Amino acid sequence: MDVKRTGSFIAEMRKGKNMTQAELAAKLQVTDKAVSRWERGVGYPDITLLEPLAGQLGVTVLDILRGEKTFPDKMTGEETEQTVAETVRLAAVQRRQAVRRVILLAIVMLIGDAMLIWGILWWTSQQSALKIIAGADGPSAVFVAWRVEPMLPVAVSAAGAVLILASLLIYRWRK
């Protein structure tokens, strides 16, 4: 399987059906950017989209996988098996990439959660900066005060919130 060849084949078939990338994307319920990536040879369609894509383009799944119109009577069993084996390998690679992406986003989100919570707790603990540590009566009372720097806990909380939002947006964009 050649990603460039498959991409140009998808583009050729789409144009033959007088469809724009946006129209094909709407029918497959993907973004037009995804269709553009396929056609430029940057990546393959997801394995779950091969059958609907073939249906929309009026070709077979095997045609898409090979990047050319195939004639079943001229194909050998070995060629068909080889194409199917390559498809299964590609599906496994896509599945591993998806799992890695989800794990990475989950880790980033957990770090963001920890930063947000830690910053809030730190900031609230500094709100009681004046403490009485000995003698509660008049002049014998000893007060201890430390400098309250709200910017650092606020910055940590803000960075955590940014990490959370970024991971949510990336997750939604990649779907």
Statement to judge: residues 58 and 113 lie in one domain: no
User: What span, in angstroms and rounded, lies between the C-alpha atoms of 58 and 86?
Assistant: 22
From 75, 110, 126, the end of a domain falls on 75
Statement to judge: residues 124 and 164 lie in one domain: yes
pLDDT at 128 over 70: no
Q: Which two tokens stand for residue 153?
A: 């806990």
Q: Assess if residue 49 is contained within a domain.
A: yes
Statement to judge: residues 104 and 170 lie in one domain: yes
Q: Which two tokens stand for residue 9?
A: 């084949």
Statement to judge: residues 110 and 66 lie in one domain: no
Which amino acid makes up residue 103? I
User: For a pLDDT cut of 70, what percent of the chain falls above it?
Assistant: 80
From 75, 110, 132, the end of a domain falls on 75
> What per-residue confidence (pLDDT) applies to 89?
81
Q: Assess if residue 83 is contained within a domain.
A: no
Read off the pLDDT of each residue in 147-165 and give the average, rounded to a whole number: 80
The DSSP element (H or E) to which 40 belongs, if any, is helix 32-40
Q: Could you give the number of structural domains in the chain?
A: 2
Q: Give this prediction's pTM.
A: 0.51
> What per-residue confidence (pLDDT) applies to 129?
54
Q: Which of 23-32, 98-107, 133-142 is modeled with the greatest confidence?
A: 23-32
> What per-residue confidence (pLDDT) applies to 146?
56
Question: Higher model confidence: residue 39 or residue 129?
Answer: 39
Q: Assess if residue 42 is contained within a domain.
A: yes
Least confident of 48-52, 63-67, 138-142, 167-171: 138-142
Torsion of CA 8, 10, 14, 15, to 10 degrees: 10
Q: Assess if residue 24 is contained within a domain.
A: yes
Q: Assess if residue 85 is contained within a domain.
A: no
Statement to judge: residues 69 and 104 lie in one domain: no
Structural domain of residue 105, as residue ranges? Answer: 98-174
Per-residue pLDDT tens over the stretch 75-114? 667 777 777 777 778 778 878 888 888 888 888 888 988 8
Q: Assess if residue 9 is contained within a domain.
A: yes
User: What span, in angstroms and rounded, lies between the C-alpha atoms of 126 and 61?
Assistant: 63
